[in-house]
């Protein structure tokens, strides 16, 4: 059977000039953003952004996992409440898979390929608790087991959309991989393809469950491979903050062609273009947001205001800011430098260092290793405001 039901997979060139402009703008913004922070600071913020990405991706799935619960899960501290524990395990699974992607431990194949999305699904689902590996058929009440990394073997319906029959999934995914092969595209088309692939993957709905999560991780990996993505910004934050629009445009792009002026495929080209415009605009918005948030001078200003308040309240020792500033500007420093940085004798300087390490404001890979700046959850709202919704 043909796979024509999914066409067009890419907007036609004569209709996509606005998409090209957005793709070029995204490239320019991303290139301007990169390289402003020292590698050690980049590393610390990347860990925080992975947690943020997970939080917003969970939110899209209807799972409001508090950032503090996510933080505790990464420290092997799980709630005694079974429902909260399940969500913590789900969050940790997402972060661990994204870390594999960010650190180059993912497959070498293209993110928009059957092999790669199976890998994402397998790595994510194998980390989930048993409770999250079952779905229920809304019509029959039948319980179905989600098998990590395995395409569905039964028909499904998503809202009003009926994805391809299970026997056709492999064929559709092969066509999907061909259409979104970045190596055969210009750089600009490859960026537009990331947006288009996000919807068309959801349209195929190859897995019994977890397709939205896989789509967002696939898009993250595709952006990273393209050179414009990174681990300092997250498309998931933009999608979650405009969730109704995101889901409405996904649904709209499921519709069939609306007359002779709506492209030549079975699906609406106009709706696909609208989704791609939204996706690329959200990417630009998130790059701009993080660039403004991570201005070095502004971070230092917020850190000083925080330290002044904490020292005045007796919660931090004096000269704490001197160490934090050094860690920010130098990336890291040796522990023996503490007296020189603070201007105190060695014993007092080491007491300050110990307190900052205890609070997570400084972190290290070992008791004698250099220290670098940390971004514990307690300071995120002060140092990096608006990363999470107010109160989260």
What span, in angstroms and rounded, lies between the C-alpha atoms of 98 and 231?
A: 9
Q: What is the mean pLDDT of residues 327-346?
A: 95
Cβ pair 371, 327 in contact under 8 A: yes
Residue 234 CB partners (closer than 8 Å, separation 6+): 49, 52, 53, 56, 220, 286
Alpha carbons 334 and 238: distance in angstroms, whole number: 38
Please provide the average confidence, as pLDDT, over all residues in the chain: 93
Percent of the chain with pLDDT over 90: 83
Average pLDDT over residues 210-229: 95
Higher pLDDT, 38 or 285: 285
pTM summary value: 0.93
Give the integer Cα–Cα distance in Å for 156 and 206: 10
pLDDT value at position 286? Answer: 96
Provide mean pLDDT across the span 179-195.
94
Complete domains list, the chain, with CATH = 9-293 (1.10.3290.10), 296-383 (3.30.450.410)
Whether pLDDT at 287 is above 90:
yes
Query: What value does the mean pLDDT take over residues 34-51?
Result: 85
Distance CA 317, CA 330 (A): 21
pLDDT in tens, 362-371: 999 998 999 9
**Confidence band, pLDDT 50/70/90 cuts, at residue 38:** confident
pLDDT at 137 over 90: no
The answer to whether the beta carbons of residues 51 and 65 sit under 8 Å apart is no
> How high is the pLDDT of residue 390?
62
Buried b (16+ CB within 10 A) or exposed e, 213-231: bbbbbbbbbbbbbbebbbb
DSSP string, 195-215: HHHHHHHHHH--SSS-HHHHH
* Percent over 70 (pLDDT), the chain: 98
Q: According to the model, what pLDDT value does residue 34 have?
A: 67
Closest CA to 172 of 145, 211, 133, 139: 211
pLDDT above 70 (res 35): no
d(CA 197, CA 54): 21
pLDDT tens digits, residue range 148-180? 999 999 999 998 899 999 999 999 999 999 999
With cut-offs at 50, 70 and 90, classify the pLDDT of residue 141.
confident
Please write the tens of the pLDDT for every residue from 238-284: 999 999 999 999 999 999 998 888 888 899 999 999 999 999 999 99
At 230 the pLDDT is 79
Q: Give the residue from 158, 358, 112, 156 showing the smallest Cα distance to 250.
A: 158
Specify whether the CB–CB gap between 270 and 256 falls below 8 A: no
Q: What is the mean pLDDT of residues 20-26?
A: 95
Cis-peptide, bond into residue 3, ω within 30° of zero: no
Q: What is the dihedral of CA 210, 215, 221, 227, to 10 degrees?
A: -170
97 or 32: which leads in pLDDT: 97
Give the pLDDT confidence of 120-129 residue by residue, as tens digits: 999 999 999 9
> Which pair of tokens denotes residue 186?
């210009």
- Pinpoint the alpha helices (H) of 11-151: 17-33, 39-60, 67-74, 82-102, 114-125
**What tens digit of pLDDT does each residue of 70-89 get?**
999 999 999 999 999 999 99
Range in 45-54, 59-68, 105-114, 135-144 the model is least confident about: 135-144
């Amino acid at each position: 059977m043909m796979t024509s039901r999914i066409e067009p997979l890419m907007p036609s060139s004569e209709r996509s000039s606005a998409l090209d402009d957005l793709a070029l703008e995204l490239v320019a913004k991303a290139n301007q953003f990169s390289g402003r922070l020292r590698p050690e600071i980049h590393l610390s913020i990347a860990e925080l952004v992975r947690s943020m990405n997970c939080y917003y991706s969970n939110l899209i799935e209807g799972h409001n996992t508090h950032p503090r619960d996510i933080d505790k899960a990464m420290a092997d501290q799980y709630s005694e409440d079974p429902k909260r524990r399940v969500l913590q395990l789900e969050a940790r699974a997402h972060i661990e898979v994204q870390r594999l992607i960010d650190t180059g431990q993912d497959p070498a194949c293209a993110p928009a390929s059957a092999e790669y999305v199976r890998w994402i699904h397998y790595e994510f689902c194998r980390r989930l608790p048993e409770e999250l590996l079952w779905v229920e058929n809304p019509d029959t009440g039948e319980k179905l087991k989600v098998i990590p990394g395995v395409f569905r073997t039964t028909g499904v319906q998503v809202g009003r959309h009926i994805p391809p029959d299970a026997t056709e999934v492999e064929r559709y995914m092969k066509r999907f991989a061909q259409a979104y092969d970045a190596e055969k595209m210009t750089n600009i088309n490859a960026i537009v393809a990331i947006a288009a692939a996000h919807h068309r993957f959801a349209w195929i709905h190859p897995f019994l469950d977890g397709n939205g999560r896989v789509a967002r991780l696939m898009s993250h990996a595709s952006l990273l491979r393209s050179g414009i993505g990174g681990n300092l910004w997250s498309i998931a934050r933009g999608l979650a903050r405009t969730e109704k629009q995101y889901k409405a445009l996904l649904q709209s792009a499921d519709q069939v062609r609306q007359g002779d002026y709506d492209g030549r495929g079975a699906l609406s080209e106009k709706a696909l273009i609208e989704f791609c415009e939204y996706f690329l605009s959200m990417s630009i918005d998130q790059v701009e947001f993080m660039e403004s948030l991570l201005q070095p001078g502004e971070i230092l200003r917020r850190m000083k205001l925080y330290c002044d308040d904490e020292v005045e309240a007796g919660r931090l020792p004096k000269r704490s800011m001197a160490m934090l500033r050094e860690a920010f500007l130098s990336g890291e420093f040796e522990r023996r430098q503490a007296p020189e940085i603070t201007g105190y004798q060695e014993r007092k300087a080491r007491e300050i260092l110990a307190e900052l390490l205890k609070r997570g404001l400084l972190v290290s890979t070992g008791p004698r290793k250099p220290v670098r700046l940390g971004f514990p959850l307690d300071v995120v709202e002060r140092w990096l405001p608006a990363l999470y919704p107010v109160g989260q």
